[in-house]
């Protein structure tokens, strides 16, 4: 076992104890010193342990929001304490460490090994799924340095998950506005989510608008469909089939959903949304919506 792996296990033990005691961060230093003396005596990596622990604790709220976004079917409090804190530790290194010291693949692999060593039977797979999803959202930095060829995905055999979404717009004093939500990965996106069983697609789209920004609207037109491959922490790769609609709402205050990895919701003038940071699969939908609205106004 490498010295740094041992150091990470000491930090994990400290996070586990803090979490079990309600995350009383005032005790963090004392617990870390005790665990370092017990599990890694005479180690010269205590500064590394202290810096890693301090980063996790300082960024905990942001990291927890990312976990919720990457594993939406697992409420944070329902994730096993060990797995939850391995994710916090792994995401801290993946997102905030010097990549010259801790390359992204090292951060992911170390977290997976901690899951296999200290977690349950499925911990390694679950942690791999969550961190892999976040890594993909980051744009897979330094991927070309791994020297590995990406394995082709057999899309024909993937489970299909139905999702629905809406481009939300309103008119006020002759000006068109579009309501967008912002996620913890830094992208502006649509009100969207999974379609419920036996729910009509249009009803699902209106439901997501109500849930995510608190407004009731009506469908104006269809904006088309798309299909893409996504990663699930438990199931691995799956195919998502999305159907999207243009929804008109009153120009009222937006009430952001308090969970699910969203951190902002704003109205934008139609002309100002062109330069926003959208996901590749969402940008064509937004473009179609803009074209529909422009034609409607002309």
With 70 as the cut, is the pLDDT of residue 150 above it? no
HSE-CB of 189 using CA atoms within 13 angstroms: 20
How many separate helices (H) and strands (E) can be counted in the chain?
A: 9, 7
Q: What is the pLDDT of residue 241?
A: 92
Domain span including residue 172 = 158-297
pLDDT tens profile 101-145: 889 999 999 999 999 999 998 899 999 989 988 888 877 776 655
Same domain assignment for residues 197 and 272: yes
Same domain assignment for residues 184 and 216: yes
Residue 280 lies in a domain: yes
Sequence-ordered alpha helix ranges (H) in 122-197: 123-137
Residue 23, sorted as left (phi over 0), alpha (psi -120 to 50) or beta, turns out to be left
pLDDT tens profile 232-242: 666 677 888 99
pLDDT tens profile 205-226: 999 999 999 999 999 999 999 8
- Look at the chain and report how many structural domains it folds into: 2
Q: How confident is the model at residue 89 (pLDDT cuts 50, 70, 90)?
A: very high
Same domain assignment for residues 182 and 272: yes
């Amino acid at each position: 076992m490498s010295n740094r792996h041992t150091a990470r296990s000491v930090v994990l033990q400290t996070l586990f104890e803090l979490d079990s005691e309600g995350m009383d961060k005032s005790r963090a230093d004392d617990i870390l010193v005790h665990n370092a003396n017990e599990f890694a005596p005479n180690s010269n990596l205590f500064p590394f342990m202290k810096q890693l622990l301090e980063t996790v604790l300082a960024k905990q709220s942001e990291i927890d929001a990312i976990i919720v976004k990457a594993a939406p079917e697992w409420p944070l409090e329902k994730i096993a304490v060990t797995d939850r804190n391995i994710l916090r530790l792994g995401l801290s290194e993946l997102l905030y460490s010097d990549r010259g010291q801790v390359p992204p693949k090292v951060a992911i692999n170390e977290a997976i090994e901690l899951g296999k060593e200290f977690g349950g039977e499925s911990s390694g797979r679950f942690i791999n799924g969550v961190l892999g999803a976040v890594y993909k959202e980051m744009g897979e930095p330094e991927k070309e340095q791994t020297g590995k060829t990406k394995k082709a995905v057999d899309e024909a055999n993937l489970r299909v998950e139905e999702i629905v979404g809406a481009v939300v717009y309103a008119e006020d004093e002759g000006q068109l506005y579009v309501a967008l939500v912002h996620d913890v990965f830094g992208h502006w996106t649509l009100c969207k989510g999974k379609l419920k069983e036996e729910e009509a697609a249009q009803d699902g789209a209106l439901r997501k608008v109500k849930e995510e920004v608190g407004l009731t609207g009506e469908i104006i037109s269809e904006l088309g469909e798309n299909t893409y491959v996504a990663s699930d922490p438990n199931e691995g790769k799956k195919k998502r089939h999305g159907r999207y609609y243009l929804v008109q709402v009153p120009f009222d205050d937006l009430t952001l959903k308090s969970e699910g990895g969203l951190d902002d919701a704003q109205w934008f003038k139609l002309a100002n949304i062109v330069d926003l940071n959208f996901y590749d699969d969402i940008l064509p939908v937004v473009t179609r919506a803009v074209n529909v609205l422009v034609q409607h106004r002309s």
